[in-house]
Amino acid sequence: MTTNLRRTGLLSAVAASLLVLTACATGPGSGGAPSVPGSDDVGTPDGVIAAPGQVIGQGTVIQTGDTPPQFCLGPVMESYPPQCSGPEIVGWDWDAVEGDETANDVTFGAYAIWGTWDGTVFTATESVMLALYDPMPIVDPLLDPENAGDTPEAELTRIQDELNESSPFPILTSGQMNGYVFVDVIYDDGSIQAWVDSRYLPDTVAIRGALRDEG
């Protein structure tokens, strides 16, 4: 169920039932990345990547006073009002949606939002309260116990620390599960995944975009 930034008629909003990967902060590991044949042919991602078409994201929209609203796609501090940050969202009208709250001059709410991403700004076209969003489940094959990674945990920690410290692209969260390092970014057109595969060997780091292509 979606609405073209119109009221849904309900006032409740809940957080998405998403996999939350907590970033470790143990400091950079020692040693360099392994040399991978053909790695020089893969360009280094330069910051964030624009999406070619419409995307959808789930997160918290937050606005403090008259500052531009932001679309928080990463971690949200559990305070009241919540604290988070993200890219600017344009085309957003609080009067046209339900499920928002205001506390201490901060207005916020949880939504699934369709729109476009130019690498800097998210432009909203449609939205629905997250409490009402019922997407098809996405099965991640790397979370299947039968498909566990075989990279030693110490090496995964070293790679995760290195990415957290010196990644050429912004990271929302990172964590280790089922023998892989999972890294959440705003959006990936495949170039970030190609880069980490060339640097750390395939089936070691899994890039997951908070904004997903539609269609």
The stretches in the chain having pLDDT less than 50 are 1-39
pLDDT at position 138: 85
Q: Are the C-beta atoms of 134 and 188 separated by less than 8 Å?
A: no
Q: What is the DSSP string of 137-193?
A: P---GGG-GGG---S-HHHHHHHHHHHHHH-SS--SEEEEETTEEEEEES--SSHHH
Within 8 A by CB and 6+ apart from 91, the residues are 5, 115, 123, 124, 125
**Per CATH, is 39-49+139-213 categorized as 3.30.70?**
yes
Q: How far apart are CA 181 and CA 89, in angstroms?
A: 29
Residue 32, classed as helix, strand or coil, is coil
Phi, psi of 199 (to 5 degrees): -90, -35
Within 8 A by CB and 6+ apart from 86, the residues are 59, 62, 70, 71, 72, 73, 74
Tell me the β-bridge partners of 212: 56
Q: How far apart are CA 194 and CA 208, in angstroms?
A: 12
pLDDT at position 157: 98
pLDDT at position 45: 83
pLDDT at position 41: 58
pTM given for the model: 0.80
